[in-house]
Chain A
Amino acid sequence: MALFKDWMIRGVSAFILAVSLYSSALYSQVPTPQVPSTNPFPNYSNNGVVNPSNNRNQTPFTPSSFNPDLNRQQQQNRNIMLEVEQNQKLQETAMKEARADIEELRGAVRYALPTYSKFEGTQFYYEAFEKIILLDTTFSLKENNFLVENAFFDNKLDKAEFDKIITQSGDFIRAKMKEQGYDQNSNAAKNFMLFQFFSETLQLKSSNQKHLPFKYDFDDYRGVKNYAKMFVTKLLATKTGQCHSMPLLYLILADEIKAEAYLALSPNHSYIRFPDDKGKWYNIELTNGMLSTDSYISQSGYIKSEALQNKIYMENLTKKEMLSGLLTDLADGYIHKFGHDEFVKTVIDKALELSPNSIRANMIKANLDSARMDFVLRQIGNRPIEKYPQAIDMIEKVKSQYSFIDQLGYEDMPEEAYQEWLQSMNKENQKQKNEELTKQLKKALSNKKSTIKG
């Protein structure tokens, strides 16, 4: 079911980090997912199956010529005929049983998807999953997100290089804060600086270090052609990203400088929320470097009130929900590279355990369940489905999974509508709102500054 294939938050462009470190052919060699050519109908020969035509010759038959007594002979004949009849009956039952056996053997439907574990590269995903689930006690977005992206590249990304960039960026932001005279403990100041780090050219007077802003990458922003377009490592390498990678990098850097900030979701989109020092909340739209209002987000036209009541959009994500999101990314990358199998189920079950209402995880589950249902129905073919209660159960479960997604208030946002909405932010009234909000935030900062000085 390709129904939900293009819903995902995804991004753009070429992976230059990988290019510089490894061969550029790396990501273009992603194997195209292929359905393994296992034959669902085992080729059963006649071994062990009673062949009725052979059996007939074995019917015991005693010649009657050397029996003098006619009566006795007749009696015997009758007995023999009876015996023959009985034997024939036995044969028929045996045949019936044999036919039933054949039916049953043919009907041995497999209810689990065939695994891709023999494919090269899957082990990196299995390892990443184990690491995220078992080894993570601190919940580090930086570490876990790297695991997800690295698995896609068969663990060939340079971790030391990645760590270095993050540390340096954190140092840069702190240094700039100091230079600006901001309170080093103010959450508003930290986030304001982070926001500027993303949206403006910054230069450190002390070291002459210069930092250029990150830009939105319009090309293939859903990562349809090149999946890695949604990666943070791609964003760092090319300085261009989209609504998946940009907020994630923001939060990784926020952790680095110990700022409080959260990820929030809207249809096909994610953005940043943070509180200033008085508890007033701000939304940051990183794809165009502006502060946005709740009404801008809620008026996209694709947020239903049910979605808000079920808290699937416009809420700060908890650590559990973030982890669920990363597992969903992991599952998604695996599906993109290989396809649907039961490993996806393991990952997505865990993701749903952490965040039962997650739209993305629920959709992956819906797609996985439909893939499995298709697999089972293809095996059953045109035989009567009533004989396969497990398959009927599967169909019902797929239906209820889709209606659960509807119940959550999800509505598909078409790609054009999404782009149009994102662009609408550059319109005059939204720009004005952004300026007002920036002013407010700056005011909050200068208040803080003066109180510190005073």
Chain B
Amino acid sequence: MIRNYILAVLLFTIPLSVRAQNQEALFEKSLLTLNDMLVNENHYSFKKAVFSVENAYLNGKLDTVAANNQINVLTNLCKSLIDGRFLAYVESDKVDVNKWASVYQVMCDSIPIVIKDKEYKYIPFRYDFEDVFGNQELSNMFVSKLLTTRKGNCHSLPYLYKILCEELGTTANLALAPNHIYIKHQNKKNGWYNTELTSGIFPNDAWLMASGFIHVDAIKNGVYMKALNNKESIALVMMDLANAYQKAFPENDGSFLLACAEVSISAYPNFTTALILRAEMHKKIVEAEVDVEKSKVDFKKLEKEYANIHMLGYRYMPEEMYLNWLVSLKTEREKYENKKLTNFNKK
């Protein structure tokens, strides 16, 4: 198996400095954990995958017990919501729909809670407009950060949503847009629909298509707007791991990143983030090549890689434009809201 081969090579070749040794080991452990989930479906746990990455970046300082406790609290809140209300939805998949609706409410709605005859108000999670890409501090993207600050972004919010769904024994599909992650569900009544946690709206596909940064080919090829399965979701987490590694070890030789990219691509072949990372790593190798002939051949291969990424429909979306687009959902809500869904999801 090529995947295991890559990992084996990786483990023996990375030179470990004494200072970073522990953290390196954590990253490798995380990579093995994720890889194991891809090879053995029974070992899959999105929560475990996400926390293994965050723990590696935080150098083992992630308080897993506290994080798990908070997730349990939220899961119980969901369960009490499911028990205590009537959902105006009658199709045969109503058990799942009810679970999704409860997670949505816990993420996006304020809920009155009565404890010992006193009414408290549950405050939902909010969107954090600061450092939405984790450029200043990567941990701003983390689910653990979201749990403690109750503010998150298009990375941590959908991740937590998926984790809560899985805790409740149902599923949730992540879906990609340029620089963005959102949720897709399919129910019997409405077919596929989108859940946008950053604004708490159910936008139709036209909103995403109107971003102007999604080429039709990218949709056709499943680069964007595809309901990702669990393996493909692990591929996403794998890229988070690579990103965290790069932040933790800016001077690394690239072999860990390349391994992450390879495994990620094997699970999700049209995943452009991984394809781009792999191409960039190959580019470094080509540039370092001393043999002129080999360099020429490799350069041709590299060109093909980039051409393939373009052909899949990937286009670069500048960060400033991303925020404008995200806000457009609120300003042009009328135009992009899927009105069929608001009825039964709101209590």
Q: Which of B205, B221, B224 contacts A304 (CB 8 A)?
A: B205
Residue ID in chain A nearest B204 by CB atoms: A301
Least Cβ distance of B92 to chain A in Å? 11
Question: If A295-B209, A409-B192 touch, does A308 touch B204 (CB 8 Å cutoff)?
Answer: no
Residue ID in chain B nearest A408 by CB atoms: B191
Residues of B within 8 A of A406 (CB): 191
B210, CB-defined interface residue at 8 Å? yes
What is the CA–CA distance of A301 and B208 in the complex, to the nearest angstrom? 10
What is the CA–CA distance of A221 and B321 in the complex, to the nearest angstrom? 40
Residues of A within 8 A of B205 (CB): 303-305
B222, CB-defined interface residue at 8 Å? yes
Q: Is the CB of B206 within 8 A of A299?
A: yes
Interface range, B side: 10 to 19
Q: Is the CB of A311 within 8 A of B220?
A: yes
Q: Which of B192, B204, B212, B226 contacts A295 (CB 8 A)?
A: B212
| Bitwise interface map of B from 217 to 244 toward A, beta carbon under 8 Å scored 1, else 0 | 0011110111100000000000000000
Q: Is the CB of B216 within 8 A of A298?
A: yes
Q: Is the CB of B226 within 8 A of A305?
A: yes
A306, CB-defined interface residue at 8 Å? yes
Q: Which of A301, A308, A311, A315 contacts B206 (CB 8 A)?
A: A301
What is the CA–CA distance of A90 and B205 in the complex, to the nearest angstrom? 73
Residues of A within 8 A of B224 (CB): 305
Q: Is the CB of B219 within 8 A of A295?
A: no
A314, CB-defined interface residue at 8 Å? yes
A294, CB-defined interface residue at 8 Å? yes
What is the CA–CA distance of A311 and B219 in the complex, to the nearest angstrom? 10
Q: Is the CB of B191 within 8 A of A295?
A: no
Question: If A301-B204, A406-B191, A411-B191 touch, does A308 touch B216 (CB 8 Å cutoff)?
Answer: yes
Q: Is the CB of A300 within 8 A of B225?
A: no
| Bitwise interface map of A from 270 to 307 toward B, beta carbon under 8 Å scored 1, else 0 | 00000000000000000000000011001111011110
Q: Is the CB of A305 within 8 A of B210?
A: no
Least Cβ distance of A329 to chain B in Å? 26
Q: Is the CB of B204 within 8 A of A305?
A: no
Q: Is the CB of A304 within 8 A of B191?
A: yes
Residues of B within 8 A of A295 (CB): 209-210, 212
Q: Is the CB of A309 within 8 A of B192?
A: no
Q: Is the CB of B219 within 8 A of A308?
A: yes
Least Cβ distance of A297 to chain B in Å? 8
Residue ID in chain A nearest B222 by CB atoms: A309
What is the CA–CA distance of A409 and B186 in the complex, to the nearest angstrom? 11
Residues of B within 8 A of A411 (CB): 191
What is the CA–CA distance of A25 and B192 in the complex, to the nearest angstrom? 47
Q: Is the CB of B192 within 8 A of A303?
A: no
Residue ID in chain B nearest A406 by CB atoms: B191
* CB neighbors of A among B40-79 (8 A): none
Least Cβ distance of A266 to chain B in Å? 11
What is the CA–CA distance of A304 and B205 in the complex, to the nearest angstrom? 6
Q: Is the CB of B222 within 8 A of A299?
A: no
Q: Is the CB of B220 within 8 A of A309?
A: yes
What is the CA–CA distance of A409 and B212 in the complex, to the nearest angstrom? 21
Q: Among B216, B222, B225, which residue has the most Cβ atoms of chain A within 10 A?
A: B216
What is the CA–CA distance of A27 and B225 in the complex, to the nearest angstrom? 47
What is the CA–CA distance of A299 and B208 in the complex, to the nearest angstrom? 9
Residue ID in chain B nearest A303 by CB atoms: B205
Residues of A within 8 A of B204 (CB): 301
| Bitwise interface map of B from 175 to 219 toward A, beta carbon under 8 Å scored 1, else 0 | 000000000000000011000000000001110111010001001
Residues of B within 8 A of A315 (CB): 220
| Bitwise interface map of A from 113 to 153 toward B, beta carbon under 8 Å scored 1, else 0 | 00000000000000000000000000000000000000000
Residues of A within 8 A of B210 (CB): 295, 299
Residue ID in chain A nearest B219 by CB atoms: A308
Residue ID in chain A nearest B338 by CB atoms: A301
What is the CA–CA distance of A304 and B209 in the complex, to the nearest angstrom? 10
Q: Is the CB of A298 within 8 A of B206?
A: yes
Residues of B within 8 A of A309 (CB): 219-222, 226
Residues of A within 8 A of B212 (CB): 295
What is the CA–CA distance of A294 and B216 in the complex, to the nearest angstrom? 7
Question: If A295-B212, A406-B191 touch, does A300 touch B219 (CB 8 Å cutoff)?
Answer: no
Q: Among A309, A315, A409, which residue has the most Cβ atoms of chain B within 10 A?
A: A309
Q: Is the CB of B226 within 8 A of A303?
A: no
Q: Is the CB of B192 within 8 A of A304?
A: yes
| Bitwise interface map of A from 396 to 413 toward B, beta carbon under 8 Å scored 1, else 0 | 000000000010010100
What is the CA–CA distance of A305 and B205 in the complex, to the nearest angstrom? 7
Given contacts A295-B212, A306-B227, 14 further A-B contacts (CB under 8 A): A294-B216, A295-B210, A301-B206, A303-B209, A304-B205, A305-B205, A305-B208, A305-B224, A305-B225, A308-B219, A309-B226, A311-B220, A314-B220, A315-B220
Top 4 closest pairs, chain A to chain B, by CB: A305-B225, A298-B209, A308-B219, A301-B206
Residues of chain B touching chain A, judged by Cβ–Cβ distance below 8 Å, are 191-192, 204-206, 208-210, 212, 216, 219-222, 224-227
6 inter-chain pairs at a CB distance below 8 angstroms, sorted by A residue, are A295-B212, A303-B206, A304-B192, A308-B216, A309-B222, A406-B191
